[in-house]
Structure 1
């Protein structure tokens, strides 16, 4: 009898935040779909205790390491710098223990797919003789900008009004990631953003959660440094190609959702009549901005579904209910993909985090971009000026976006002179990204290439 080759085992290690965990666990589900790879997600003890798991986690197993804050997570650290330092020291030690524990099992780890913002994970993997794959959760455009800064080709602080980066259109300072446009405000994040390139040459693979056809020039430009494998979009297969069975949700969430109430409300609304409003799991708009947002939603005269986290509702709900009128619904959290897939939704008012941006593009929903920080400003630039699938709001000097500006952008995207063009562009992009993950598509081929190499090595 011929002995069957051992299935390769991949350890997937995201930065412990929902926006990083979700795309990486989706990649894991893609890897395990054909029973060619075993995948284990490594996360912190604190995050593991906070997860709301469901059957959509699929065959991806969960294992834990420590970030040094097992009872509180990031919130327990005195600063971002302190957390990142503890995460590296405690994480390196406990990750080594995890690898050693699996080495004596029937499925020792062959490759660590690590979040590019925590490059020390690659060092631990190499110390144990394992392959390492960097996973970039942001678009290629953002990595191009950061790498340009890392090489000293874009000195900080940025002094010119227009910035030229290979593979990208001319960028204004406000289009750059906030860590780069405001280096003094986010020093710890800037250091982490640049440090991911420090050992990238040691990685066996460089994976990025994007679609080649979305960012052809950006991917081609950075591919002169590394062999980039665009493998996105990493969202549940149900909304793309349905190749991963029963894959309708990310499989875990750090928040609870009452989607039945939301579904019933949406089903009662006409097609393309609702503005879906959500700023993700991290952004905090502040009281003044929340009040302006409420005024803008009311002035738009559109139905709207607004996600306000419980922590924000406790402080701001009294000030916002009076502004929203009777055309809005406020919820603490919801299943975003199911909302965006609803025929009632006509546009998405979003912070333009990359996961949210990809979800809107996958489902053909035009965007009103209201970026807050990090990569969101660059994503908003792509949405408005490159893909032409939405508009970006303009803020005042204090950084506040006034209600009249919000209302004007909503009306323009929903009913304005170019509304049909933006909708058509959004639908075209939806077809493009779906084709990328279908059999023979660019992303599907890259995933197959990654798996085939792992199979040869295991």
Structure 2
């Protein structure tokens, strides 16, 4: 019997992430999931980000770029020309994006509708809290998309509503914080923007403003899976329920429905080829290090990590974004030049790579990470034990879960100067790569890998949530058509 989904014209979903690597990746993967279910999808990004995506695809295998062929790409303006320096002031940047980007986004929706590509739903990045107003203007339902963990979603919501109070630097530091569905949290476990020492007040405002229009959204979606955060999801049901639709990573590494889908396809930097080098290494012998797409490491910290890697004696592949440390490039270059010469048979340093491909390469044995949410999920999917060096935002909370809840990694200790020292790096690498503790961490990671895959296969928890989301869009489309 023909299903309702098959009897009517397929919905057209607009997917709109904030134009940063950690936001674009999961939303592009969600777009792919919708396309695989025969929906029409338009992916909206900024003119600058689109140019970067195109440049990064130069020399990329066809099967990677083909993943985008069924997704319409539309661009909006950020309010500045693409060749201008990025605006550093957070308030100014987001205000321009709302005013200018919002206006050009409205133009995109108007054009799509006028061309017969009537928009059925807008899935928007939570930080773009002005999108629901535009969706309402076109009488289109919207879906709030959370790109971090459900635990962090719960923490921020409890602070936003005042159910948990923030402390300032003059007050007594919270020893233990209790939030329903979460483990007990110390001050250092909560997102850094909520800590008394937070120097990024504009970013805290941005985070809190995400919830200001959440009541206008018809759906709340999250890039996680229920087996990973069951208690956290359940506890939020009585407040603002979140529907898990992840982990949103390429199909080849999860359900296997599309073996050619091996990359996120939204890189803003051109990846270097490191696979040939990895192919020369023994199984599980390489330490992979990456701290994401944003600048977080000082010159001193880079040197400590480098010396720790060298002393460990293990092979390493290090993604190091020197372009993000411009003020220290000259001195860093001098140090690294000598370091690379001394470790030429031990390690390889690249500026960017296709992380999922690297993490799933048989020669990679562990991952040193900043604990961004995408990297955290990617480590779980790859079944790798990890060492965590969280810096800011949600990374502190993710690190807590990695070490104490999911038990797949170790958080590295910092010195009184705030650095992870070379001895700590060396010792921790050897713990993971050479000890029974490392074997146990790997076993736990492999169990989460199995559960993550089960969530995304046909009938899995996230798979059913995605199907339910689509069915509800279709049901609204049918009601709207009948009312008309």
TM-score (norm 1): 0.95
Contact 2:121-2:140 at 8 Å conserved across structures: yes
Verify: 1:166 aligned to 2:180, yes or no: yes
Q: Distance in 2 between matches of 1:285 and 1:132?
A: 37
Quote the offset at 1:456 in angstroms: 2.0
5 Å matches for 1:190-229? 190-229=204-243
Tell me the C-alpha RMSD between the 2 structures.
1.8
Quote the offset at 1:310 in angstroms: 4.3
Runs of 4+ in 1 over 4 A off after TM superposition: none
Contact 1:157-1:183 at 8 Å conserved across structures: no
Verify: 1:320 aligned to 2:349, yes or no: no
Quote the offset at 1:58 in angstroms: 4.0
The corresponding residue for 2:13 is: 10
Secondary structure of 2:436's match? Answer: coil
Q: 1:431 to 1:121 in 2, by over 3 A?
A: same
Secondary structure of 1:162's match? Answer: coil
Quote the offset at 1:387 in angstroms: 0.4
| Contiguous gaps of at least 5 residues in structure 2 | 58-64, 478-484
Quote the offset at 1:78 in angstroms: 4.4
The corresponding residue for 1:449 is: 468
Contact 2:192-2:198 at 8 Å conserved across structures: no
Equivalent of 1:71 in 44, 64, 82: 82
The corresponding residue for 2:27 is: 24
Verify: 1:266 aligned to 2:278, yes or no: yes
The corresponding residue for 2:264 is: 250
Quote the offset at 1:284 in angstroms: 2.9
Q: 1:72 to 1:85 in 2, by over 3 A?
A: farther
Decide which moves more: 225-234 or 442-451. 225-234
Deviations 1:374-403 (A, max 9, x none): 111111111000000010111123321111
Verify: 1:156 aligned to 2:172, yes or no: no
Contact 2:167-2:174 at 8 Å conserved across structures: no
Q: Distance in 1 between matches of 2:364 and 2:473?
A: 41
Deviations 1:251-288 (A, max 9, x none): 121111222xx112111111111100011111330111
Contact 2:233-2:241 at 8 Å conserved across structures: no
Q: Distance in 2 between matches of 1:350 and 1:23?
A: 18
Verify: 1:334 aligned to 2:337, yes or no: no
Quote the offset at 1:27 in angstroms: 0.2
| Contiguous gaps of at least 5 residues in structure 1 | none
Contact 1:351-1:369 at 8 Å conserved across structures: yes
Decide which moves more: 219-228 or 3-12. 3-12
Quote the offset at 1:406 in angstroms: 1.3
Decide which moves more: 223-232 or 344-353. 223-232
Q: Distance in 2 between matches of 1:307 and 1:268?
A: 18
Q: Distance in 2 between matches of 1:72 and 1:394?
A: 41
The corresponding residue for 2:297 is: 285
Equivalent of 1:110 in 115, 120, 123: 120
Decide which moves more: 184-193 or 359-368. 184-193
Quote the offset at 1:4 in angstroms: 5.4
Pairs aligned (count)? 453
Q: Distance in 1 between matches of 2:378 and 2:401?
A: 15
Decide which moves more: 413-422 or 435-444. 413-422
Deviations 1:157-196 (A, max 9, x none): 2631221111111111111111111464111111111111
Equivalent of 2:443 in 424, 442, 448: 424
The corresponding residue for 1:92 is: 102
Q: Distance in 1 between matches of 2:371 and 2:283?
A: 23
Secondary structure of 1:212's match? Answer: coil
